[in-house]
Amino acid sequence: MMKKELPQYKRYPCVTPMWDNTPRVKADGTVLRNSSPELYEEWLTHVVKKFKPFGPEENFVFICAWNEWAEGNHIEPCIKWGRGYLEATKRALNSA
Protein backbone atom coordinates (compact mmCIF):
# COMPACT_ATOMS: atom_id res chain seq x y z
CA MET A 1 0.00 0.00 0.00
CA MET A 2 2.87 2.38 0.70
CA LYS A 3 4.04 2.05 -2.91
CA LYS A 4 0.69 3.03 -4.42
CA GLU A 5 0.37 6.47 -5.95
CA LEU A 6 -2.04 8.90 -4.35
CA PRO A 7 -5.26 9.29 -6.35
CA GLN A 8 -6.18 12.53 -8.10
CA TYR A 9 -9.41 12.78 -6.11
CA LYS A 10 -10.06 13.52 -2.44
CA ARG A 11 -9.48 10.36 -0.43
CA TYR A 12 -8.69 10.03 3.24
CA PRO A 13 -5.98 7.52 4.03
CA CYS A 14 -6.71 4.44 6.10
CA VAL A 15 -4.52 1.79 7.69
CA THR A 16 -5.46 -1.41 9.47
CA PRO A 17 -3.47 -3.62 11.82
CA MET A 18 -4.74 -6.88 10.31
CA TRP A 19 -7.65 -8.29 8.37
CA ASP A 20 -9.09 -11.73 7.71
CA ASN A 21 -12.78 -11.88 6.95
CA THR A 22 -12.77 -15.45 5.61
CA PRO A 23 -14.61 -16.79 8.70
CA ARG A 24 -17.55 -14.61 7.68
CA VAL A 25 -17.44 -14.60 3.87
CA LYS A 26 -15.61 -17.89 3.23
CA ALA A 27 -13.74 -18.21 -0.09
CA ASP A 28 -14.41 -14.63 -1.20
CA GLY A 29 -12.60 -13.17 1.79
CA THR A 30 -9.61 -10.91 2.04
CA VAL A 31 -6.60 -11.77 4.18
CA LEU A 32 -3.73 -9.48 5.12
CA ARG A 33 -0.86 -11.67 6.30
CA ASN A 34 2.23 -11.31 8.47
CA SER A 35 1.17 -8.22 10.35
CA SER A 36 3.12 -7.03 13.36
CA PRO A 37 3.09 -3.87 15.44
CA GLU A 38 6.35 -2.84 13.74
CA LEU A 39 4.97 -3.17 10.20
CA TYR A 40 1.72 -1.46 11.18
CA GLU A 41 3.74 1.40 12.72
CA GLU A 42 5.81 1.74 9.57
CA TRP A 43 2.64 1.94 7.44
CA LEU A 44 0.88 4.41 9.74
CA THR A 45 4.00 6.59 10.03
CA HIS A 46 4.30 6.64 6.24
CA VAL A 47 0.65 7.63 5.81
CA VAL A 48 0.73 10.33 8.49
CA LYS A 49 3.88 11.90 7.04
CA LYS A 50 2.72 11.74 3.42
CA PHE A 51 -0.87 12.92 3.91
CA LYS A 52 -1.53 16.53 3.03
CA PRO A 53 -4.77 17.65 4.72
CA PHE A 54 -7.51 19.03 2.52
CA GLY A 55 -8.12 21.78 5.06
CA PRO A 56 -8.10 22.49 8.81
CA GLU A 57 -11.38 20.64 9.29
CA GLU A 58 -10.27 17.71 7.12
CA ASN A 59 -7.02 16.70 8.77
CA PHE A 60 -7.50 13.07 9.72
CA VAL A 61 -6.37 9.56 8.93
CA PHE A 62 -8.59 6.54 9.51
CA ILE A 63 -7.45 3.50 11.44
CA CYS A 64 -9.69 0.58 10.63
CA ALA A 65 -9.50 -1.32 13.88
CA TRP A 66 -13.01 -1.62 15.19
CA ASN A 67 -12.05 -4.38 17.60
CA GLU A 68 -13.27 -7.14 15.35
CA TRP A 69 -11.44 -9.92 17.13
CA ALA A 70 -12.66 -12.67 14.80
CA GLU A 71 -11.10 -10.83 11.86
CA GLY A 72 -7.89 -9.90 13.67
CA ASN A 73 -8.82 -6.26 13.23
CA HIS A 74 -8.03 -4.73 16.61
CA ILE A 75 -5.45 -2.56 18.32
CA GLU A 76 -6.58 -3.35 21.85
CA PRO A 77 -4.11 -5.22 24.05
CA CYS A 78 -4.04 -8.96 23.46
CA ILE A 79 -2.08 -12.00 24.59
CA LYS A 80 0.08 -12.19 21.46
CA TRP A 81 1.09 -8.53 21.05
CA GLY A 82 0.30 -7.00 24.44
CA ARG A 83 0.00 -3.24 23.98
CA GLY A 84 2.17 -3.37 20.85
CA TYR A 85 -0.38 -1.97 18.41
CA LEU A 86 -1.44 0.82 20.77
CA GLU A 87 2.18 1.79 21.40
CA ALA A 88 2.91 1.64 17.65
CA THR A 89 -0.02 3.99 17.02
CA LYS A 90 1.27 6.43 19.62
CA ARG A 91 4.80 6.43 18.15
CA ALA A 92 3.53 6.85 14.58
CA LEU A 93 1.29 9.78 15.48
CA ASN A 94 4.03 11.41 17.55
CA SER A 95 6.45 11.11 14.63
CA ALA A 96 4.37 13.57 12.63
Going from N- to C-terminal start, the domains of the chain cover: 33-75
pLDDT, residue 62, reads 93
Contacts of 71 (CB under 8 A, 6+ apart): 18, 19, 20, 21, 23, 24
pLDDT digits (tens, 9 = 90+) for 62-79: 998 877 777 778 899 989
pLDDT digits (tens, 9 = 90+) for 7-65: 889 999 999 998 888 888 888 888 888 999 999 999 999 999 999 899 999 999 999 88
Helices (H), 32-83: 37-50
pLDDT, residue 82, reads 95
Cβ–Cβ < 8 Å for 1, 32: no
* pTM score of the predicted model: 0.85
